[in-house]
A = this chain, B = another copy of it.
Amino acid sequence: MYRSHTNGALRLADVNEEVTLSGWVQKVRNKGFMIWVDLRDRYGITQLILDEERTDAAVFETAKSLGREFVIQVKGTVIERVSKNPKMETGDIEILVSELTILNASKTPPFTIEDDTDGGEELRMQYRYLDIRRNPVKNNLIFRAKVTQAVRNYLSSDGFIEVETPYLIKSTPEGARDFVVPSRMNEGQFYALPQSPQTFKQLLMVGGMDKYFQIVKCFRDEDLRADRQPEFTQIDCEMAFIEQEDILNVFEGMTRHLLKEINGVEVGDFPRMQYDDAMRIYGNDKPDIRFDMKFGELNEVAQHKDFGVFNNAELVVGIAVPGGNSYSRKEIDKLINWVKRPQVGALGMVYSRCNDDGSFKSSVDKFYDQDDLAKWAEVTGAKSGDLICILSGDKNKVRAQLSALRMELAERLGLRDPKVFAPLWVVDFPLLELDEETGHYHAMHHPFTSPKPGQMELLDTNPGEVKANAYDLVLNGNEIGGGSIRIHDKQMQATMLKHLGFSDEDAKAQFGFLMDAFEYGAPPHGGLAFGLDRLVAILGGQETIRDFIAFPKNNSGRDVMIDAPAPIDDKQLTELSLMLNLKS
């Protein structure tokens, strides 16, 4: 061992003790006759002191040569500091150094190893091993480990068995793109990396494991949007002989436990909201309910005048911005420009100021009178001093636009407090989703999700209306988990796959093993998966998952530190029975 103590350990009670410390040189202050060194490791910082009087001359000389991030080992005596530093845990003491060994020198790091570093994102990613030395990154990784271990202990105590499912599986064309892995031993054939262990966990239920979980890497070869990673981690769970209510209870318990154990926050019963209500009230299936600004649908009270924009709209909908009447005309114009950005896509925004005297002043006073505007205030719940923002158009689009505006305003108003936690179950998701490009329906959750009882018949007549036993757990406006009760009947699964456009042949080739399994006594079952990266980030009071991943990839799916992916040898390609077929 290169140390008797870590750099976070020593206190006044240790004064006069002879100790050996090791770590990185955080800072050197050289006053000529006296040198202080801040010595850092994972556990903290301890101050070292060397002076011409008390320190051996050779040791003093060595200390003069130290640079930032040198790795050193020192022996010395713990002494009480003359000027204590109450901000440091070890701030009452320092080490009077008697021996000093440089274990490894360091070049000057490309950015400062400080909480607020001068390094940009790209540089920090290239030298991620240096970035990890910084407290914010280091603490995030330790926090992640703590959350993960808490999840494992909670589920294990509750009778869940962690089972490892395979990573080299079979490619299925459903859902996102698979990453594939050519097989050398099976010429011309490929494994796929799992997008989730979905079918395997269902087979474990057929196999009688009863309660399964796994914290597991999953893979999706998608064009990466901001803050998506090609590999990500799921808390994957499945239970047999349960109904939706049981799943919600178990994982509400787990989430409440995490909030208590990790964040020290007590949360009561999680509210539940139907998907249709979430869309109607918040324009979003993952509403942030830490704040209000509920949608008010204004068709009835806004489509009776000559204002064509509203009259031709499928939906006219507004929100009351608390205190928004204080916005200047210029600020409101900025808001209007904000909703007109291509990322949001609104054509314009109508507003109505709610004055302190109870009167209203709107951007459409030409068409609407005070009575109309009073009704708008009533429907949106606006009070004196608020600003009502109204969008109109195609229902789905306008809801998404107003939801974006609601989140943006909440951010500006400081209503998204990362220390407040507002979980919410969104339930009764639609089974199918219309792909507007192809005109085909595809599974909103996945093809194994069970429709609600008695709704199977609607599949033929009105597929978009079929509701599923599917649910999401939403935390502070983020989907942190989602799941469903599964189909466990072969015939129903076959019908479902047919509706999703699979030929009998494809269905058999892709999912034959699962449907076969359903013929040998499959129990009713269902489950849920949490996105661990996102969950950890939100519990950590942040929203960027990359900050909670040790070695993340960039938006092109590259690891810029190790420079991967990279070309491989022709010999390797030949062994895999492959040739490159480059487009460019």
Which residues of B are found within 8 Å of A500, using beta-carbon distances?
Answer: none
A177 to B185 CA separation, bound complex (whole angstroms): 12
Tell me the complex Cα distance, A167–B574, Å.
23
Kindly list chain B residues whose C-beta atoms are within 8 Å of the C-beta of A22: 241, 523
Can you name 14 A-B pairs with beta carbons within 8 Å? Answer: A2-B524, A104-B522, A105-B521, A106-B519, A130-B207, A152-B152, A168-B219, A168-B559, A177-B184, A180-B572, A182-B182, A185-B556, A186-B558, A200-B550
Q: Which residues on the B side are within 8 Å of A452 (C-beta)?
A: none
Are B71 and A168 in contact, CB atoms less than 8 angstroms apart? no
With A106-B519, A513-B561, A520-B107 as given contacts, are A132 and B208 in contact (CB-CB < 8 Å)?
yes
Q: Which 4 pairs show the lowest CB-CB distances between chains A and B?
A: A132-B207, A106-B521, A170-B564, A189-B565
Is A567 an interface residue, CB under 8 A from the partner? Answer: yes
CB contact under 8 A between A104 and B523, given known A42-B209, A170-B565, A231-B168: yes
Contacting residues, chain B, for A518 (C-beta < 8 A): 104
Q: Quote the shortest CB–CB distance from A497 to chain B (angstroms).
A: 16
Asked whether any CB of chain B lies closer than 8 Å to the CB of A557, the reply is yes
Choose among B69, B191, B489, B565 the residue that contacts A104 (Cβ–Cβ < 8 A). B489
Interchain nearest-CB distance for A571 vs B (Å): 9
Is A3 an interface position by the 8 A CB rule?
yes
A163 to B572, CA, bound (A): 31
Tell me the chain A residues, 15-29 only, with Cβ under 8 Å from chain B: 22-24
Whether B221 lies near A184 (C-beta < 8 A) is: yes
Known: A104-B523, A129-B520, A138-B208. A581 touches B572 (CB 8 A): no
Q: Are A1 and B242 in contact, with the CB atoms below 8 A?
A: yes
Indicate which residue in B156, B166, B523 contacts A103 across the interface (CB closer than 8 Å): B523
16 new A-B contacts, CB < 8 A, other than A3-B241, A168-B231, are A23-B241, A42-B208, A103-B524, A104-B521, A104-B522, A129-B207, A129-B517, A132-B209, A166-B559, A170-B565, A170-B566, A171-B566, A190-B567, A191-B565, A513-B563, A577-B581
Is A355 positioned at the interface, with any CB of B under 8 Å from its CB?
no
Cβ of B568 and Cβ of A171 under 8 Å apart? yes
Q: A170-B566, A207-B132, A565-B183 are in contact. Are A164 and B1 (CB under 8 A)?
A: no
Say whether A86 faces chain B, with CB atoms less than 8 Å apart: no
> Which residue on chain B has the smallest CB distance to residue A22?
B241
Flag whether A70 is at the interface (Cβ < 8 A). Answer: yes
Instruction: Pick the residue among B43, B152, B168, B565 that contacts A168 (CB under 8 A).
Output: B565
Contact, CB under 8 Å: B246 / A169: no
Query: Which of A142-150, A275-283, A312-320, A386-394 binds B?
Result: A142-150
The interface of chain A, by Cβ under 8 A from chain B, is: 1-3, 6, 22-24, 40-43, 69-71, 103-107, 109, 127-133, 138, 141-142, 144-145, 148-149, 152-153, 156, 161-171, 173, 177-193, 199-200, 203-204, 206-211, 217, 219, 221, 223-224, 230-231, 233, 241-243, 245-246, 488-489, 513, 517-524, 549-551, 553, 556-559, 561-569, 572-584
Contact among B128, B223, B568, B581 with A574 in the assembled complex (CB-CB below 8 Å): B581
A191 to B553, alpha carbons, bound, how many Å? 12
Q: How distant is the Cα of A242 from the Cα of B20 in the complex, in angstroms?
A: 13
Which residue from B103, B142, B566, B577 sits with its C-beta under 8 Å from A190? B566
Query: How far apart sit A211 and B518, CA to CA, in the bound complex (Å)?
Result: 45
Other-chain contact of A241, B1, B105, B133, B558 (Cβ < 8 Å) = B1
| Residues of chain B contacted by A168 (CB below 8 angstroms) | 179, 219, 230-231, 553, 557, 559, 564-565
Whether the pair A557, B185 counts as a contact (CB closer than 8 A) is: yes
Instruction: Give the distance in Å from the alpha carbon of A584 to the alpha carbon of B187 in the complex.
Output: 9
Residues of B with C-beta under 8 A to A187: 582-584
**Nearest CB of chain B from residue A536's CB, rounded to whole Å:** 11
Q: How far is the CA of A2 from the CA of B241 in the complex (A)?
A: 5
Instruction: Decide if the interface of chain A is mainly helix, strand, loop or mixed.
Output: loop
Other-chain contact of A208, B41, B152, B163, B553 (Cβ < 8 Å): B41
> Which of A221, A518, A521, A576 neighbours the largest number of chain B CB atoms within 10 Å of its CB?
A521
Question: A161-B142, A209-B141, A523-B22 known; A488 and B104 CB under 8 Å?
Answer: yes
Residues of B within 8 A of A556 (CB): 185-186
Shortest beta-carbon distance from A134 to chain B in Å: 9
Interface hub of A104, A223, A231, A488 (most chain B Cβ within 10 A)? A104
Whole-angstrom distance from the CB of A163 to the nearest CB of chain B?
A: 5
CA distance in complex: A107, B107 (Å): 69
B residues in contact with A109, CB < 8 Å: 520
A568 / chain B contacts, CB cutoff of 8 Å: 171, 180, 190
Decide if B183 touches A181 in the complex (CB within 8 Å). Answer: no
Contact A145 B161 (CB under 8 A): yes
Cα-based distance from A543 to B52 in the complex (angstroms): 64
Q: Using Cβ atoms and an 8 Å threshold, which residues of chain B touch A164?
A: 144, 217, 233, 549-550
Complex formed: what's the CA distance from A582 to B153 in Å? Answer: 49
Establish whether residues A162 and B186, one from each chain, have CB atoms under 8 Å apart when the complex forms: no
Within 8 Å by CB of A580, from B3, B488, B553, B577, lies B577
Contacts of A167 in B (CB 8 A): 167, 193, 217, 219, 231
Q: Report the bound CA distance from A578 to B173 in whole Å.
A: 18
Most chain B CB atoms below 10 A, which of A551, A564, A584: A564
A107 contacts across to B, CB distance below 8 A: 519-520
Task: Write out the residue numbers on chain B whose beta carbons fall within 8 Å of the beta carbon of A1.
Answer: 241-243, 245-246
Residues of chain B within 8 A (CB-CB) of A131 are: 207
Query: What is the CA–CA distance of A522 and B109 in the complex, to the nearest angstrom?
Result: 12
